C-alpha cells in the first residue's frame, strides 16, 4: 500500500518540481493545460516575488523557491482545514491527512539525488555500455530522457539546474575535493605552464573566438535578426572559452593519462576561473556602459580587477586554510566534529570570496591546498578517512546531478538554433584551442625540464572540454541587455554536447592509439621520498650558486619558513608530524 | 586585510540573520532603532510574504527565508548597479565590489555551525568545566550569551530555531544516527517496557499534568486574564509531557548507565513521538471544533489516528529500509556513492511519513533499524566507516546547534512569565513522571525477566528530560487560537532549563552515589555470540513446549523467514554474510 503511494508521490514530486520552473524560464512559454491548484499558487507567487528579470533563472531545484510560496501549513500544525483562518471552522477530526506542500523542497531534492545515483548504478551493471561511453555522457542521456518524459507527459518545462544551485551547492564540493587531494608538488612544479595556459591561453581564446565570430557576423552569415553586437559576442566568447573543471575531471579520471598531463589540463581548468569571472563581468558592464562611452579608465579597471579577483580569491583561500589548520590544532578532545571544520571553513572561504566578487573556485582550491598540510597532521586517522570518503561521495554525487540536470535542461521550447553560429562556434573553439596549446607549449617548453611532446599537446587540446560552468553563466545573461540570449544558450549546450560526447568518447581510444604515457599508481617508497627531499635541497643549492632564483629555491625558502614559524603555530604535535612527514 | 574584513562580515552576518526574525516573532515588538537598508528590505518583504499567522514562526535560520527577499543580484551578474533595471545605466566599471545579500543564507548557516563547533572545542579545553556540566548546558549558556549580545548590541531580536529548520534539517540526522546504531537485540528485548512507557506513560502524563493544571486554573491561581481554557491546557500538556530524544541522548551519553536502563529511557523518548503528534493534533483541532461540539466520532478518529500515525510511520520506515537494502545490493561497482543511498533514503522515509502526517521519528528510526541488517553486509568497509563517522558528525553538530539555538531563542521580549504556572508545571511534570514510572514499572516487572529495581526507576524518572521537540512544537501553536501562547512558550523554556540544567547536572553524581550499574563497553566474544544464538533457539523451543508465544518464538520465526526469503533478495553475497554474522 505504501510503496505504491510512495511511487505516486515521487512522480508527483517531479511534476511539481518542474511546474515551478516553467513560467520563469519560458519566454515563449506554452501555458500549462491542466495544473493543480498548488501549481497555480506556486506560479502566481513566484511571479509576484520576482524583482529583477535576471532573477528569472533562479528557480527550480534551488532549495529556496518553496519559501516564496506561502507554506500552506507548517509542520505538525494539524490538517489542511485547521489553518489559521478563523472564519472557517473545521468539520471533523480526520483519521489521516496528506500534505505534500510543506515537505516539497527537501523531498524533491532527495528524489533527484536518489534517481541520479540509481542511474549511476544502472550504467555500471551494463559493462559494455560503460566501457565505451564515459559516465558523463550516459548521465546526460538519462537527463534528456527524463526531460523528454517530463516535457511531454506533464505539459510543463523543467530547468532544475539554476545558476545559484550550481554555484552555491554543486560546484564547491567538487572543487574542494580537487583542491584538498591536489598533488601539491606536481601542481607547483607545473604552476608556470598551468598559469600560462589558464591566463594567456584563455584570453587568447576569448579574443580569437570572439573576433572570428564577430567577423563572421559582420558578413551577415547568421541572418539579419540574429547577428549579435560586438560586446554580446565577446560576452559569449568569454564564457565559452574556458575549459571546465567538472567535465575535465569526469573524463580524465577515466582515461588515466600520466600525472603531468593531467595536472596541466586540470590545473588550467581551475585557474582560468579568475579570467572567466573578470572577462564575463567586464563584457557585461561594457555592454551596459555602451561601446562608444568606454574610456581608458574602464579598461584599466578591467585589467586591475583581474589581479584583484585572482589574487584576492587566492588570499582569502589561503587565510581560511591557515585558520582551519589553527582550529584543528585544538580538536583532540572532540574528534567527531573535526571533519565539520574542514567542510564548513572551506565552504565559507568560497562564499567569502563570492561576497567580494572574487574567484570562489580559486579560494576553495587554495584553501584545500593550504589546509591539507596542517590539518592532516592534526586530525585523527578516522576523521581523515571520513573527510576523504565524504568528500568523494559529495563531489561524486554533485557531478552526477550536474550532468543529469544538464540533460534535463536541454529539453525546453526556448531554443533558437542558428546552424551557422553553432557550427562556427564549435569550429573556432576547436581550432583556436589547438593553436593556443601549440603556441603556448612552445613557449612553456623553453623553460620546462620535462618538455611537452606533440602527443601531450594533442591530449591537452583534445581535453579542452566545456561544461556546466559555461551553461550556468549563459543562463545568467540578462535577456534585456543581450537580445540573442536564447541563441547563446542553445549554442552553449551544443558546444558542451560536442566536447563531452565526441571528444569524451573518442579520447580514450585515441590515448591508447597514440600510446600516451599512462599514470603509475605506485606510491613512492620511503627511500625515494628521502631522495626527493635531498634532491630539492641540492637543486636549491645549485640555484644559489648559479645565482638564479628558481622553483627549488622558492620552495626551499617556504619550507624553512613554514617549519620555523607556521607549523609550530598550527600543528599540535610536531614530533609526530616530523616522524610522519618523512 | 582580509581577515579583518572577514570578521566584520561575520558580525554583519549574525546581525542580518537576526534582523529577519524580529518582525515576525514579536507580538509586542520594539521597532528597531537603526537598521540598514538591507534589513528594512528584508523585513518588508517578509511581512508581505506572510500568508498565515502560524507562518510567523517560520523565519530565521531556515534555509529558505532569503528567497522571500528578492535577491538583489544573482551570482556573477556584475556589481550592484548592473542590475536589470535598464533605466539606470552604470557609471564606470568598478575595480572591485561587495555584495553580501546573494550569499547571505548559506554564509550565515556556515557561520552558525562554525561558531557552535568552536564553542564545543572551548568546553573541552577547560577540563573542570566539562567534568561538572553536561555539554548541553554549556551550549545553552553560550547561546544565551550570544542572544544577549545580539539583543543589546543590534537592537533586533533573534530566533534562529524555527520549527521547520528543526524538524526538517536538525532532527533527522540525530534520529537516524540513533536508529542506525540502535542495539537491535536490546531494543526488541525491551520493546514491551518501552512501548508501555512511551504510549501509556505519555498518555498518563498528558492526562494528569493537563488535568492538574486545569484544576489549578479553575481555582484562579494564574490570575484572571492568564487562565487558559481546557483544550489549551491539554494542548500544552501534550507537548510538555513527552521525554525528548535529543536531550536524553545528550545527557545519557555522558553518564554511561547500563544498556537496559539506557534503552528503556531512550526508546521511550523515540517511540512517544506518535503519541505526541496525535495528541497535539487532536487537541489543536478539538480546540477549533469547540469543546461543546465534539462528538463520539471525533474521539474515535483520534484513537484511530494514533494507530495510523504509529503503524503508518513504522511501515513507511520499514519499507524504505528494505528498499535501501535492495539498492545497496547493486552498488559493488560504485562504492563511493553507497553512503549517499543510506542518508538520502532514510531522509526520504522521514519526509514521506511527514507527508501523510505520520510519525517521521518512528519512520526514520525503523528505517535505520531495518536497513542496517542488510546494508551492512552489502557495502564496503570504507563506506561503512564513512557512514558511521559522517552520521556521528552530522548528528553531533545538529545537537550542538540545537542547544545553542535554544539558548539564543531564550533572549527575546515576548516572554509572559507567570510564576504559578511555571512552578506548577515543573512540579506536576516531576511528580507525575515519578508516579507514572513507578506504576508502569510495577506492571512491567510482572512480565520482565530482568526486573527494574528502585534505583533503575529513579534514574528513569530523573532522566525524563524535556527538550527542543517541545520547544519547536510550542512555537507552532497558533496565537489566534491559543491566547496564552507566549506564556506557554516561556513555561516550556523554563521546564527545559529545569530538566536540562538541574537534572542534567545532578544526574551524574546521583548515578555514582546510588551505585547504578554502569555500562560495560566490552564487545561479546565469538563464543558468547554463538552461545547467545544457541540460547535463543533453546528458549524458542521451550516456549513451543510450554505453549506460549513469547519474545523468543517471534524472533526465531522472523529469523527463519528473514534467512529464507528476505536476505537472499537483499544481500549480494550471502556466503560472506553468513561467515561474518557468526
Chain B partners within 8 Å of A168 (Cβ)? 75, 103, 106
Answer yes or no: are the C-beta atoms of B154 and B18 closer than 8 Å: yes
Split into its structural domains, chain B has a count of 3
Q: Do A67 and B67 touch (CB under 8 A)?
A: yes
Confidence at A520, pLDDT banded by 50, 70, 90: low
Query: What is the band of B257 on the pLDDT scale with cuts at 50, 70, 90?
Result: confident
A167: nearest CA partner in chain B: B75
pLDDT (0 to 100) of residue A193: 93
The pLDDT score that the predictor gives to residue B71 is 34
Is the residue at A268 inside a domain? yes
Interface of A with B in 267-326 (CB under 8 A): 277, 280-282, 284-286, 288-290, 295, 297-298, 301-302, 304-305, 308-309, 312, 315-316, 319, 323
pLDDT, average across residues B548-562 = 72
pLDDT in tens, B140-149: 999 899 888 8
pLDDT over 70, % of chain A: 75
Do the Cβ atoms of A163 and B76 come within 8 Å? Answer: yes
Identify from B76, B122, B341, B480 which residue to disrupt to test chain A contact, counting A C-beta atoms within 10 A and taking the largest count: B76
Helix (H, G, I), strand (E, B) or coil at A257: strand
CA atoms within 13 A on the CB side of A370: 25
Q: Which of A59, A82, A98 is the last residue of a domain?
A: A59
A99 shares contact with chain B (CB less than 8 Å): yes
Gap from A359 CA to chain B (nearest CA, Å): 10
Checking if the pLDDT of B80 tops 70, the result is: no
Percent pLDDT > 70 in chain B is 75
Give a yes or no: residue A95 inside a domain: no
B522 to chain A, any CB pair closer than 8 A? The answer is: no
Nearest C-alpha in B relative to A478:
B84
Residues B410 and B555 in one domain: no
CB contact at 8 A, B428 and B212:
yes
Identity of the residue in A58, A97, A348 whose CB atom sits nearest the CB atom of B357: A97
Q: Which residue has the higher pLDDT, B457 or A101?
A: B457
Residues 187-246 of A with CB under 8 A from B: none
Q: Does B390 touch chain A (CB under 8 A)?
A: yes
Q: Which CATH number belongs to the domain containing residue A240 in this structure? A: 1.20.1530
Q: Among A79, A105, A124, whose Cβ lies nearest the Cβ of B333? A: A124
Per-residue pLDDT of A225-279, as tens digits, reads 778 888 889 999 999 999 999 999 888 888 888 888 999 999 999 999 889 888 8
Q: Which of B467, B486, B513 is the last residue of a domain?
A: B513
Q: Confidence class of residue B126 from pLDDT cuts 50, 70 and 90?
A: confident
- The reply to whether A433 and A296 lie within a common domain is yes
Report CB contact under 8 Å: B305, A94.
yes
Residues A539/A552, Cβ–Cβ less than 8 Å? yes
Give the residue from A59, A74, A90 where a domain finishes.
Answer: A59
Asked if pLDDT for residue B452 goes beyond 60, the answer is yes
If asked whether residues A504 and A559 sit together in one domain, one would say no
More confident residue, A2 or A506: A506
Are B165 and B294 part of one and the same domain?
A: yes
Higher per-residue pLDDT: A33 or A124:
A124
Does the beta-carbon distance from A55 to B71 stay under 8 Å? yes
In this structure, is residue A425 part of a structural domain?
Answer: yes
Q: Does the distance separating the beta carbons of B75 and A354 come in below 8 Å? A: yes
Q: How far is B442 from chain A (nearest CA, A)?
A: 33
d(CA B414, CA B420) in angstroms, rounded, equals: 18
Flag whether pLDDT at A194 surpasses 70: yes
pTM for the model stands at 0.78
Most confident of A91-95, B10-14, B238-242: B238-242
B451, B493: one domain:
yes
Q: Which has the minimum average pLDDT: A30-34, B129-133, B271-275, B329-333?
A: A30-34
B458 and B404 in a single domain? The answer is yes
Min Cα separation B401/chain A (Å): 12
Task: Give the position of cell 562611452.
Answer: A293
Cβ <8 Å between A396 and B49: no
- Better pLDDT: B443 or B3: B443
pLDDT at A441: 94
Q: Between B49, B385, B393, which is nearest A336 by CB?
A: B393
Would you state the pLDDT for residue B474? 92
Contact criterion met (CB < 8 Å) for B385 and A386: yes
Q: Is the dihedral of CA A324, A329, A330, A334 positive or negative?
A: positive
Residue-range definition of the domain harbouring residue A33: 4-59
Asked if A565 and A473 sit in the same domain, the reply is no
Q: Mutation target for B interface from A10, A75, A86, A127: give the one with most B CBs within 10 A.
A: A75
- In sequence order, the 6+-apart residues with CB closer than 8 A to the CB of A99 are A72, A73, A79, A80, B355, B357
Shared domain check, A559 and A435? no
Interface list for A 45-74 with B (CB within 8 A): 49-55, 57-58, 62-68, 70-71, 73-74
B130 in any annotated domain: no
Q: Is the pLDDT of residue A349 over 70?
A: yes
Q: Would you call A478 and B168 a contact, using CB atoms and an 8 Å cutoff?
A: no
| Structure confidence at residue A488 as a pLDDT band (50, 70, 90) | very high
φ, ψ dihedrals at B134, nearest 5°? -70, 155
Q: What is the pLDDT of residues A276-328, one digit of tens each?
A: 888 888 888 887 777 777 778 888 888 888 888 999 999 999 999 999 999 99
Both A502 and A545 in a single domain? no
pLDDT at residue B408 greater than cutoff 60: yes
**Mean pLDDT computed over A73-90:** 40
- More confident position, B34 or B319: B319
Q: Would you say residue B291 lies in a domain?
A: yes
Give, rounded to a whole angstrom, the gap between the first and last alpha carbons of chain A. Answer: 61
Domain contains B249: yes
In a domain, A248, yes or no: yes
* Same-domain check for residues B219 and B297: yes
Tens digit of pLDDT for each residue in B339-393?
A: 999 999 999 999 999 998 899 999 999 999 999 888 888 888 888 888 998 998 8
Q: Which of A377, A397, A378, A399 is nearest to A389 (CA)?
A: A397
Q: B99 and A357 in contact by Cβ < 8 A? A: yes
User: For all residues of chain B together, what is the average pLDDT?
Assistant: 78
Lowest mean pLDDT: which of A90-104, A147-161, A246-260, B83-97? B83-97
Q: Cβ separation of B75 and A125 shorter than 8 Å?
A: no
Query: B389 lies in a domain?
Result: no
In A, which residues are within 8 Å of B357 by CB distance? 76, 79, 96-99
Question: Following DSSP, what letter does each residue of A544-580 receive, concatenated?
Answer: HHHT---HHHHHHHHHHHIIIIIHHHH-S-HHHHHHH
Check residue B358 and give left, alpha or beta (phi > 0: left; psi -120 to 50: alpha): beta
Identify each DSSP E strand in B48-149 by its residue range. none
Asked if A498 and A564 sit in the same domain, the reply is no
Q: What is the pLDDT of residues A417-426, one digit of tens each?
A: 889 999 999 9
| Same domain flag for A436 and A566 | no
pLDDT for the residue numbered A229 = 84
Amino acid at each position: 500500500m505504501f510503496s505504491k503511494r510512495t511511487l505516486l508521490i515521487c512522480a508527483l514530486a517531479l511534476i511539481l518540481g518542474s511546474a515551478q520552473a516553467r513560467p520563469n524560464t519560458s519566454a515563449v512559454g506554452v501555458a500549462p493545460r491542466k495544473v493543480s491548484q498548488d501549481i497555480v499558487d506556486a506560479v502566481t507567487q513566484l511571479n509576484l516575488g520576482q524583482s529583477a528579470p535576471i532573477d528569472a533563472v533562479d528557480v527550480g531545484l534551488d532549495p529556496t523557491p518553496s519559501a516564496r510560496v506561502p507554506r500552506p501549513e507548517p509542520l505538525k500544525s494539524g490538517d489542511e482545514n485547521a489553518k489559521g483562518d478563523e472564519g472557517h471552522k473545521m468539520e471533523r477530526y480526520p483519521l489521516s491527512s496528506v500534505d505534500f506542500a510543506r515537505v516539497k523542497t527537501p523531498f524533491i531534492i532527495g528524489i533527484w539525488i536518489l534517481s541520479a545515483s540509481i542511474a549511476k548504478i544502472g550504467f555500471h551493471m551494463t559493462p559494455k555500455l560503460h566501457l565505451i561511453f564515459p559516465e558523463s555522457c550516459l548521465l546526460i542521456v538519462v537527463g534528456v530522457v527524463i526531460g523528454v518524459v517530463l516535457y511531454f507527459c506533464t505539459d510543463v518545462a523543467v530547468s532544475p539546474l539554476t545558476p545559484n544551485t550550481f554555484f552555491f551547492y554543486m560546484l564547491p564540493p567538487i572543487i574542494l575535493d580537487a583542491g584538498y587531494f591536489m598533488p601539491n608538488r606536481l601542481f607547483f612544479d607545473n604552476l608556470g605552464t598551468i598559469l600560462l595556459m589558464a591566463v594567456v591561453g584563455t584570453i587568447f581564446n576569448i579574443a580569437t573566438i570572439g573576433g572570428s565570430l564577430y567577423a563572421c557576423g559582420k558578413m551577415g552569415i547568421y541572418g539579419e535578426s540574429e547577428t549579435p553586437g560586438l560586446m554580446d559576442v565577446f560576452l559569449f566568447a568569454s564564457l565559452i572559452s574556458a575549459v571546465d573543471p567538472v567535465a575535465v575531471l569526469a573524463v580524465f579520471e577515466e582515461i588515466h593519462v600520466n600525472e603531468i598531463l593531467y595536472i596541466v589540463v586540470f590545473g588550467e581548468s581551475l585557474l582560468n576561473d579568475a579570467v572567466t569571472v573578470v572577462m564575463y563581468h567586464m563584457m557585461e558592464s561594457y555592454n551596459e556602459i555602451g561601446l562608444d562611452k568606454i574610456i581608458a579608465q574602464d579598461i584599466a579597471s578591467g585589467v586591475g580587477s583581474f589581479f584583484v579577483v585572482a589574487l584576492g580569491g587566492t588570499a582569502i583561500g589561503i587565510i581560511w586554510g591557515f585558520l582551519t589548520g589553527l582550529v584543528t590544532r585544538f580538536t583532540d578532545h572532540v574528534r567527531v566534529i573535526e571533519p565539520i571544520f574542514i567542510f564548513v571553513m572551506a565552504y565559507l572561504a568560497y562564499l567569502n570570496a563570492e561576497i567580494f566578487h572574487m574567484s570562489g573556485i580559486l579560494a576553495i582550491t587554495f584553501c584545500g591546498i593550504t589546509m591539507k598540510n596542517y590539518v592532516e597532521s592534526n586530525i585523527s586517522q578516522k576523521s581523515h578517512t571520513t573527510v576523504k570518503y565524504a568528500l568523494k561521495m559529495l563531489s561524486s554525487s554533485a557531478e552526477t546531478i550536474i550532468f543529469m540536470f544538464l540533460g534535463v535542461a536541454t529539453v525546453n521550447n526556448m531554443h533558437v538554433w542558428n546552424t551557422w553560429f553553432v557550427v562556427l562556434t564549435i569550429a573556432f573553439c576547436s581550432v583556436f584551442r589547438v593553436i593556443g596549446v601549440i603556441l603556448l607549449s612552445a613557449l612553456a617548453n623553453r623553460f620546462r625540464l620535462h618538455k611537452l611532446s606533440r602527443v601531450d599537446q594533442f591530449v591537452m587540446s583534445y581535453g579542452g572540454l566545456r561544461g556546466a560552468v559555461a551553461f550556468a553563466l549563459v543562463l545568467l545573461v540578462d535577456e534585456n541587455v543581450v537580445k540573442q540570449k536564447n541563441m547563446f544558450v542553445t549554442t552553449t549546450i551544443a558546444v558542451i554536447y560536442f566536447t563531452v560526447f565526441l571528444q569524451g568518447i573518442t579520447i580514450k581510444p585515441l590515448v591508447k592509439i597514440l600510446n600516451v604515457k599512462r599514470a603509475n599508481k605506485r606510491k613512492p617508497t620511503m627511500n625515494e621520498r628521502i631522495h626527493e627531499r635531498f634532491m630539492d635541497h641540492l637543486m636549491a643549492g645549485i640555484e644559489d650558486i648559479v645565482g638564479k632564483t628558481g622553483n627549488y629555491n622558492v620552495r626551499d625558502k617556504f619550507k624553512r619558513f613554514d617549519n620555523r614559524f607556521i607549523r609550530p603555530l598550527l600543528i599540535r604535535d610536531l614530533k609526530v608530524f616530523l616522524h610522519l612527514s618523512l
